[in-house]
Structure 1
């Protein structure tokens, strides 16, 4: 009876879904930038790159690092007294006044939306004690998150040193890290922000310089940049369906269109594939393991249509701890699942042991498994 049910459900799903499978295209694209990259946010997979590891000047996209350090300082609701030095910063400005007190949160909005160099210096002095002290924090964070071809000397990106540089890849790594922070997500996606202005009868109103927020419906944030030496630089993010992407271009005269082109090719050429569903896994017949192993989260990875059949999984288990059965420790990691794409490890997920037997799957889970086994994909909407 169970075999017949499987065949019936399988036939229904195939007859309904197959005619509606979207056409997929090669995600190749050409951009004007000297360096460029398109990265999927969840996995960090590179979907497109052009000279992505060459060190270049980066201009105001530097401020992504300044913003995330300010947010992580935990002082966003505290007031900052603006120094004379901050108000003398060259280039773009929100016109802070010496001695005025402004919330760190408002400084970060001015930094990200209007690219205020005065806000960058004010943030650096408050969070790092000085511009030089803040640069140390910037470089420490860069190494911590894997930006190995990056060096910061200031919080704003002005061309005051040859030692201030990064790469398209490293800036994507930074944006991927920053976008894990909810506060950063909110600020980066804000189109207009009103900041109190205690010395005047009117509030400051800042419109985001990131034109992609209004030009491209799937854009979720980003940061612009420009100096005479760096030329135009741009980091943006976009989400369509269950896929979120990061695009970076350095020295690009047509960056808005290039970002849209990269996004469109990425969304059309790749789908988020659920390689392993969360829940019970049955990989060991040993009675100690049987009905006790599970994954807390599904393993999802971006793949082209041609790559769908190239996934494989290997399970590696440790010996069970003597603590099993301890009511104070109902579950713990006993191994990992390694996901391979065309023979190369692309993802890993911890395997958990639960002292109580894992709940058996119902009919809905059964149908879902059949669907995923056939198509292995969630489309991008």
Structure 2
């Protein structure tokens, strides 16, 4: 009897956990990439799931990966057909250039192409001054834009190109967020994936070639769809790359690689790891979730996320109705605010029903009382009758 009670208690406890934790099949051992760069992150472009990270939220210098942010900011806030007049300040900007001449007029779209494909610092300065009047005002505006639109947390830019400044920093994760956000825009996606472009400048007629060796095909990886390189002495080599295979669309960010070769080797290893070991799954719209107060929540649409193949998944609902999808090692794969089915007010009202009201709304306790009373009366009558016979 004691064993039966223990089994029943165990069943009740397990059942009470079901609304909060749902597990898939047992996960398998996967060889984690041996990343030599100082920081790296691999994310799914569509679901936002983090597949790998190393120092991904450590502040670092991005170098020319800054230009991805400048490009999407210019695309979304400017007019691509605007003619931009190149200033003396833009002409004198150092580092990699597209050799703009002072007074030259170039469309904003052409400047963005020169910025991303050939990493033109002079194009970056011309864009900043056209959009906001000065580089300083541009910095204030793009920082606000990145926080509001992209949701970056540890990014602060002082210029549009990434030339070194101690106060110009970001993280691998924030750069992944910027790339993910920008890839939703078809204009950005086209330029980000351009391998070469005819450039007809006032003083420089040439063909621009992407600096990204994987995009150009010099380092073979057929799935690559876009990329941006970066380098200054203080940041070392930095790399942002996008790739697609089937349902998986991935972004790899690599920062602080001591050599260019290391940045590419790490990127290839990240993509191999991602495409070989991960798959897209979803939580259905119909699946209910119950919190500790018995409030019922549901998704308004299916929630896609990326997980390891055969990975054990944990679904956690907090008391604010936020659903977190956690991987087997505690990685946050995705999170979503759910919609409540039963408002708390209605639940509170139900909790305050008096015993008398409960009897009115639920007739079962009253019926049981009548049955027990009837049995008691019959038993009492039999007892009295037996007492009379004995006397």
Please report the TM-score for the alignment, with normalisation by the length of structure 1.
Answer: 0.71
Q: Is 1:275–2:283 an aligned residue pair?
A: yes
Q: Is 1:220–2:228 an aligned residue pair?
A: no
Runs of 4+ in structure 1 off by over 6 angstroms are: 293-296, 313-316, 342-345, 349-353
> Alignment RMSD, CA only?
3.0
1:313 Cα deviation from its structure 2 partner = 8.5
Which residue matches 1:141? 145
Q: Give distance in 1, aligned partners of 2:171 and 2:115.
A: 21
1:54-108: per-residue Cα shift (whole Å, max 9, x none)?
Answer: 2111111111111011101141111101111111110100111111111100000
Residue among 207, 212, 234 paired with 1:205:
207
Which residue matches 2:126? 122
From the superposition, tell whether residues 193 and 134 of structure 1 become closer, same or farther in structure 2 (CA, over 3 Å): same
Q: Give distance in 1, aligned partners of 2:102 and 2:35.
A: 43
1:205 Cα deviation from its structure 2 partner = 2.0
Q: Give distance in 2, aligned partners of 1:313 and 1:251.
A: 35
Residue among 147, 172, 178 paired with 1:174:
178
Which residue matches 2:155? 150
State how 1:179-258 maps to structure 2 within 5 Å.
179-197=183-201, 199=202, 203-213=205-215, 214=217, 215=219, 216-252=221-257, 253=259, 254-258=262-266
1:180 aligned counterpart, secondary structure: coil
1:274 Cα deviation from its structure 2 partner = 2.8
From the superposition, tell whether residues 283 and 167 of structure 1 become closer, same or farther in structure 2 (CA, over 3 Å): closer
2:75 aligned counterpart, secondary structure: helix
Unpaired runs of 5+ residues, structure 1, are 1-22, 285-292, 317-335, 354-381
1:355-378: per-residue Cα shift (whole Å, max 9, x none)?
Answer: xxxxxxxxxxxxxxxxxxxxxxxx
Which residue matches 2:379? none
1:315 Cα deviation from its structure 2 partner = 12
State how 1:67-78 maps to structure 2 within 5 Å.
67-78=71-82
CA contact (8 A) 2:323 2:337 kept: yes
Residue among 16, 19, 41 paired with 1:37:
41
Q: Is 1:261–2:266 an aligned residue pair?
A: no
1:171 Cα deviation from its structure 2 partner = 1.0
Q: Give distance in 2, aligned partners of 1:74 and 1:175.
A: 19
2:230 aligned counterpart, secondary structure: strand
CA contact (8 A) 2:49 2:333 kept: no
Unpaired runs of 5+ residues, structure 2, are 1-26, 290-296, 342-391
Q: How many residues align?
A: 298
Q: Give distance in 2, aligned partners of 1:245 and 1:70.
A: 24
CA contact (8 A) 1:27 1:268 kept: no
Q: Which region of structure 1 is more displaced relative to structure 2, 66-75 or 115-124?
A: 66-75
CA contact (8 A) 2:306 2:333 kept: no
State how 1:1-381 maps to structure 2 within 5 Å.
26=30, 28-144=32-148, 145-159=150-164, 161-197=165-201, 199=202, 203-213=205-215, 214=217, 215=219, 216-252=221-257, 253=259, 254-276=262-284, 281=286, 297-307=301-311, 310=313, 312=315, 338=323, 340-341=325-326, 346-348=334-336
1:345 Cα deviation from its structure 2 partner = 8.4
1:349 Cα deviation from its structure 2 partner = 7.0
> Greater share of helix residues, 1 or 2?
2
CA contact (8 A) 1:337 1:351 kept: no
The higher radius of gyration belongs to: 2
1:327-374: per-residue Cα shift (whole Å, max 9, x none)?
Answer: xxxxxxxxx894644697833376699xxxxxxxxxxxxxxxxxxxxx
Looking at both structures, which has the greater relative contact order when contacts are Cα pairs under 8 Å and sequence separation is at least 6?
2
2:66 aligned counterpart, secondary structure: helix
From the superposition, tell whether residues 247 and 125 of structure 1 become closer, same or farther in structure 2 (CA, over 3 Å): same
1:32 Cα deviation from its structure 2 partner = 1.6
1:311 Cα deviation from its structure 2 partner = 5.0
Please report the TM-score for the alignment, with normalisation by the length of structure 2.
Answer: 0.69
CA contact (8 A) 2:44 2:248 kept: yes
